[in-house]
């Protein structure tokens, strides 16, 4: 096995275990791993951005291919840096105006089309289907998202939730029933979202534990077992040290 | 202090230990619980199955190492399926922090399936702009990515023959862990350039994407590790996702039991409180 893979396994196991120590209590091992994670992430992003944007997309096309038109976006981008010079900070407004203007122009029509119009179109479906010669048909299948029953459930859900957030009318009498129905739909939605969140977090735990099991293999030098022992010893030592410190202070 | 009171004030580290054991033990001793295929995962699988050999399959790996346990198995399964069908794979990422991971996944699966970079697949890497990259690709793919991840000019690559922009893509799948991800690919890609789109996402994001699925804006959705396990079952290649399903079921069961127990203790405590209140009066 390549040496760098083994080193990578030891580093990955060590940092995973250090992060897991937070479940016991907040400690310097966790802080070390947390700060390393932030530092490495930011460092990686800076290096990739420098290489891709400055070198590949700006420097090389201008110098090697003579694409001088690229100097226009570069100039607009540089205007943003004027925010660090108080006297010239007003220049950055042009860059921000350009970004906000282009961004809004691109996003607003597309978002309205995709998330509002398409969703309204999907909500306002016929509740029953008229088949020529056979009459009106109503499908009861709960598992089919397009069945008549599900269409009614969605219609009731959308209307009752919208009514719940309509505060111009007091929620009393029949209005209270509709608002309560809206709350019921909201609770089901929150429950589903929370269930998926639990599943996602457990998946992350499974991912780390799978790696720890894989790295307990002798071909890696069993880093999971060795570093688990080291981490436990370090936790005990730190706990003793903080205990004696508290004792002295008292 | 009653038993219910003691239970409700239990050290949270005991609960962590229970959850940890419920995850670890099934990973060490798998049971092999059955995995049922959902229609949303089958939607992605069926569409890839229906594509002819040489069709262009675009895979956008819009995630970083933080979502690796959920989205890496999805990416591996989709790539294995696409390579097995001899599709031309065009991969990219809209997340700068995921570039290295995406390259690692594609290189690993391509090597395993005996595929050649530039001929059978291309990894375009990352380009700045997020949503703007999708629009740029829709107009001119070579403008958005003049070179691939290895610095080779994209113009002239045999894998991209006949591909000028997103309109020439037969099927696109975005594996998203946030924004930009599946929604961005729909809003700025499919809605404008009219190609078929499928999605894969983390479990947290899945409920938010179901409305897009129901309205037909995406034709399939692979949600979290569970979705990845279903896809692995469909292509008949057991991987990390299937291995993790027993642990997932065990932890879910443990959480359900804990929620029920907490409710029992809470209501018994409330009942005791009421009884004390009555006797006091």
Looking at the DSSP bridge assignments, the partners of residue A95 are none
Residue B269 falls within a domain, yes or no?
A: no
Across the interface, whether the CB atoms of B252 and A23 are under 8 A apart is answered no
Return the residue of A nearest to B26 by Cα: A206
Per the structure, how many domains does chain B have?
1
- A 10 A CB-CB count for B112 gives 12
- How confident is the model over B95-125, as pLDDT tens digits? 999 999 999 999 999 999 999 999 999 999 9
Q: Where are the domains of chain A?
A: 129-201
Chain A residues whose beta carbon lies within 8 Å of the beta carbon of residue B20: 205
d(CA A14, CA A221): 13
Going by pLDDT thresholds of 50, 70 and 90, the confidence category of residue A143 is confident
A213 touches chain B (CB under 8 A): yes
Of all residues in chain B, the percent with pLDDT exceeding 70 is 98
Name the residue facing B69 among A52, A56, A204 (closest C-beta).
Answer: A204
Q: Where are the alpha helices (DSSP H) in A139-173?
A: 148-164
A78 touches chain B (CB under 8 A): no
Residue window 97-116, chain A: list those with CB within 8 Å of chain B.
106-107, 110-111, 113-115
d(CA A135, CA B58): 45
B247 touches chain A (CB under 8 A): yes
d(CA A147, CA A161): 21
Distances (CA, A) of B77 to A88, B70, B89, B154, B192: 53, 12, 13, 26, 28
Residue B18 falls within a domain, yes or no?
A: no
Residue B134 falls within a domain, yes or no?
A: yes
Q: Which of A200, A214, A216 to mutate to test the interface with B (most CBs of B within 10 A)?
A: A200
* Among candidate residues B194, B144, B190, the one with its CA nearest the CA of residue B164: B144
Tokens for B68, please give them.
């690796």
Residue B232 falls within a domain, yes or no?
A: yes
CATH code assigned at B99: 3.40.50.10160
d(CA A222, CA A212): 9
Is pLDDT of B210 > 60? yes
- How confident is the model over A152-175, as pLDDT tens digits? 999 999 999 999 999 888 888 999
The complex's ipTM works out to 0.90
Residue B209 falls within a domain, yes or no?
A: yes
Q: Which of B69, B144, B258 to mutate to test the interface with A (most CBs of A within 10 A)?
A: B69
- Which residues are CB-contacts of A38 (< 8 A; sequence separation ≥ 6)? none
pLDDT of residue B277: 67
Across the interface, whether the CB atoms of A61 and B215 are under 8 A apart is answered no
Across the interface, whether the CB atoms of B99 and A200 are under 8 A apart is answered no
d(CA B69, CA A208): 8
Across the interface, whether the CB atoms of A56 and B147 are under 8 A apart is answered yes
Residue B12 falls within a domain, yes or no?
A: no
Is pLDDT of B281 > 60? no
* Domain extent for B164: 39-244
Distance from the Cα of A1 to chain B's closest Cα (Å) equals 16
A239 touches chain B (CB under 8 A): no
């Amino acid at each position: 096995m390549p040496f760098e893979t083994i080193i990578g396994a030891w580093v990955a196991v060590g940092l995973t275990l250090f992060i897991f120590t937070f479940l016991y209590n907040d400690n310097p091992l966790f802080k070390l791993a947390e700060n390393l994670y932030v530092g490495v992430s930011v460092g990686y992003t800076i290096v990739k951005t420098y290489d891709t944007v400055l070198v590949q997309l700006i420097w090389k096309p201008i110098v090697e291919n003579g694409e001088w038109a690229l100097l226009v976006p570069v100039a607009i981008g540089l205007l943003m840096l004027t925010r660090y010079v108080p006297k010239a900070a007003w220049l950055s407004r042009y860059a921000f105006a350009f970004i906000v203007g282009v961004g809004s122009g691109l996003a607003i029509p597309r978002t309205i089309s995709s998330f509002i119009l398409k969703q309204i179109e999907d909500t306002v479906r016929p509740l029953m289907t008229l088949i020529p010669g056979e009459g009106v048909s109503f499908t009861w299948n709960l598992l089919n998202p397009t069945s008549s029953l599900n269409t009614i459930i969605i219609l009731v859900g959308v209307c009752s939730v919208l009514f719940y957030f309509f505060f111009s009318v007091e929620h009393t009498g029949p209005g209270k029933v509709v608002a309560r129905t809206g709350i019921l739909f909201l609770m089901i939605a929150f429950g589903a979202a929370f269930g998926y969140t639990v599943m996602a977090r457990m998946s992350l735990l499974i991912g780390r534990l799978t790696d720890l099991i894989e790295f307990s293999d002798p071909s890696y030098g069993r880093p999971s077992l060795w570093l688990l022992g080291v981490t436990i010893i370090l936790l005990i030592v730190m706990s003793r040290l903080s205990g004696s410190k508290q004792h002295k202070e008292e | 202090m009653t038993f219910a009171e003691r239970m409700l004030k239990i050290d949270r580290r005991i609960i962590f230990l229970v959850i940890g054991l419920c995850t670890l033990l099934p990973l060490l001793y798998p049971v092999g619980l059955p995995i049922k295929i959902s229609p949303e995962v089958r939607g992605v699988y069926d569409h890839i199955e229906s594509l002819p050999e040489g069709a262009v399959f675009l895979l956008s790996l819009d995630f970083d190492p933080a979502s690796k346990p959920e989205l890496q198995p999805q990416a591996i399964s989709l790539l294995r399926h696409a390579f097995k069908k001899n599709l031309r794979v065009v991969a990219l990422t809209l997340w700068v922090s995921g570039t290295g991971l995406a390259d690692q996944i594609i290189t690993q699966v391509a090597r395993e399936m005996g595929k050649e970079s530039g001929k059978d697949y291309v990894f375009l890497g990352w380009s700045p702009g997020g949503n703007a990259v999708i629009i740029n690709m829709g107009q001119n793919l070579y403008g958005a990515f003049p070179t691939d991840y290895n610095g080779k000019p994209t113009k002239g690559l045999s894998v991209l023959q006949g591909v000028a922009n997103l309109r020439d893509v037969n099927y696109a799948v975005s594996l998203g862990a946030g924004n930009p991800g599946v929604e961005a690919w729909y809003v700025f890609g499919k809605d404008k350039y009219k190609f078929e789109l499928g999605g894969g996402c983390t479990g947290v994001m899945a409920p938010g994407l179901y409305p897009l699925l129901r309205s037909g804006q995406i034709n399939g959705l692979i949600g979290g590790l569970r979705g990845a396990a279903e896809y692995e079952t469909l292509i008949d290649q057991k991987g990390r996702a299937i291995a993790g399903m027993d642990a997932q079921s065990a932890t879910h069961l443990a959480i359900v039991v804990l929620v029920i127990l907490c409710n029992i203790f809470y209501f018994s405590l409330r009942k005791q409180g009421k009884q004390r209140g009555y006797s006091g009066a």
